[in-house]
Amino acid sequence: MTDQHSRWRRLIHSRLFFPLVCLALVLALNVVITMVTTGSPGPFFDINFSNGTINGPLITILNRSSELVILAVGMTIVIASSGGVDISVGAVMALSGAVSVWLLGYGTLADNSYHVASYVVPYGVGLLAAIAVGAICGAWNGLLVAKLRIQAMVATLILFTGGRGLAKVVSEGQITKVDVPSYKFIGNFIQDGSGHNVVPVSTAIFVAAAVVALAGLLLRHSALGMNIQAVGINPKSSRLVGLNSGRVVFFAFVFCGVCAALAGIIATSRIGAVDSSNVGKLLEMDAILAVALGGNSLAGGRFSLAGSVIGAITIQSLTTVLYSVNVSADQLPFYKAIVVVLIVVLQSPELRPMLQRLRRRFRPTAGLRQVVAP
């Protein structure tokens, strides 16, 4: 009894408890709505194998949340170390995608066809170029924040506005399509020559998982995670104990830029085209929200990578759930806002003491009932 009790208590007090509850609530919401409207729970938790792919709403959520998960990982590190946010990630996604496609089709765009029929440089070079662009953008942000001590929001505002414009310059304001089938592999399925899926799960899921695993290992098994927390909690005292606070913050922004580039590669690969004005549009806000939903403080310091990942999946679940109950995409932000308010209130540290006080007030009645009952 007491053992069970303490286990329950440990669960409740785990940092991941509330983010997980929120995710479960969002998923349950879908079942409730479909039950009410159609009378049956619907195929939401179905997973089936057909035509060489594993299908099911839950798989779709995982697949669709890949970009956001990757962005949330980078954003978590930035927030934890600097207490500021990087609002340029959406624009960096567009810029890195645009540069890699420009390089892959270098020279072929001059004929105004805006189709890349074959790679001019190897595909890997294009990918590396995208990642390099992300790293450079991150380094620029990091320089402004860590060295020049400009507030992160203001510093990243420069690329937030300029990055997308630059992406449009690179892609000449056009939507450039890549006709090479392998370009779509990262955002969709790896296929053989005749268009059959070789791997039954979208590659994007693996990329996201790899980023999470890599970041997790790096942060847990090196001093880096500890350093980031220390710098985030108090940069001055961290410096006094010999930590180079500036370097840690700089690293965090570079890492976040690379994450944005990876997300950009996935997003452009999904449609096999670079649409500079729409790639990653408003995704920076969702990434910040994911970190907050994961129970992380936006003031920096202690952080939970797993929390942010759960937060990202929660946001995507909400979108998928609302689509599946036919909420129009342009009304989506409204419903999202309602759920976000609920979730944030649920996670507020003030709420638990408040509930405890309420419970204490009702406890005498509960005791009375125990006496009367037998």
User: At its nearest, how many Å lie between other proteins and the CB of residue 6?
Assistant: 41
Among 25, 60, 151, 346, binds other proteins (CB under 8 A): 60
Cβ–Cβ < 8 Å for 295, 15: yes
User: At its nearest, how many Å lie between other proteins and the CB of residue 211?
Assistant: 21
Stretch that binds other proteins, among 85-93, 235-243, 247-255, 263-271 (CB under 8 A): 263-271
Residue 335 found at the interface with other proteins (CB under 8 A)? no
User: At its nearest, how many Å lie between other proteins and the CB of residue 366?
Assistant: 45
Residue 67 found at the interface with other proteins (CB under 8 A)? no
User: At its nearest, how many Å lie between other proteins and the CB of residue 48?
Assistant: 9
Among 178, 249, 279, 287, binds other proteins (CB under 8 A): 279
Residue 114 found at the interface with other proteins (CB under 8 A)? yes
d(CA 19, CA 2): 26
Stretch that binds other proteins, among 10-18, 234-242, 264-272, 338-346 (CB under 8 A): 264-272
Torsion of CA 105, 109, 111, 117, to 10 degrees: 40
d(CA 214, CA 156): 25
Stretch that binds other proteins, among 134-142, 220-228, 271-279, 304-312 (CB under 8 A): 271-279
Residue 173 found at the interface with other proteins (CB under 8 A)? yes
Among 108, 151, 197, 244, binds other proteins (CB under 8 A): 197
d(CA 306, CA 230): 19
Among 2, 50, 194, 365, binds other proteins (CB under 8 A): 50
Those residues whose C-beta lies under 8 Å from the C-beta of residue 234, and which sit 6 or more positions away, are: none
Among 31, 55, 151, 206, binds other proteins (CB under 8 A): 55
Beta bridge partners of 177: 115, 273
User: At its nearest, how many Å lie between other proteins and the CB of residue 311?
Assistant: 20
Residue 264 found at the interface with other proteins (CB under 8 A)? no
**Range list of H helices, 195-304:** 203-220, 224-233, 235-240, 245-271, 283-293
Q: Please, which residue, 112 or 370, has the CB nearer to other proteins?
A: 112
Which residue has 């890599």 as its token pair?
214
Residue 324 found at the interface with other proteins (CB under 8 A)? yes
**Residue 267 burial class via C-beta count within 10 angstroms: exposed 0-12, middle 13-18, buried 19 and up:** buried
Stretch that binds other proteins, among 2-10, 17-25, 128-136, 183-191 (CB under 8 A): 183-191
- DSSP class per residue in 244-263: -HHHHHHHHHHHHHHHHHHH
d(CA 89, CA 160): 7
Print the binding letters for residues 1-30 with other proteins: x by CB under 8 A, - otherwise. Answer: ------------------------------
Residue 40 found at the interface with other proteins (CB under 8 A)? no
User: At its nearest, how many Å lie between other proteins and the CB of residue 322?
Assistant: 9
Stretch that binds other proteins, among 95-103, 150-158, 298-306, 317-325 (CB under 8 A): 317-325
Half-sphere exposure of 305 (CA within 13 A, CB side): 20
Half-sphere exposure of 32 (CA within 13 A, CB side): 6
Cβ–Cβ < 8 Å for 111, 282: no
Which residue has 């069970």 as its token pair?
4
Residue 336 found at the interface with other proteins (CB under 8 A)? no
Distances (CA, A) of 260 to 5, 133, 136, 152: 43, 10, 11, 16
Query: Residues, the chain, total?
Result: 374
The footprint of other proteins (CB under 8 A) covers: 42-43, 46, 50-53, 55-57, 60, 64, 112-115, 168, 173-177, 184, 188-189, 195, 197, 202, 267, 270-273, 275-279, 320, 323-324, 326, 328-330
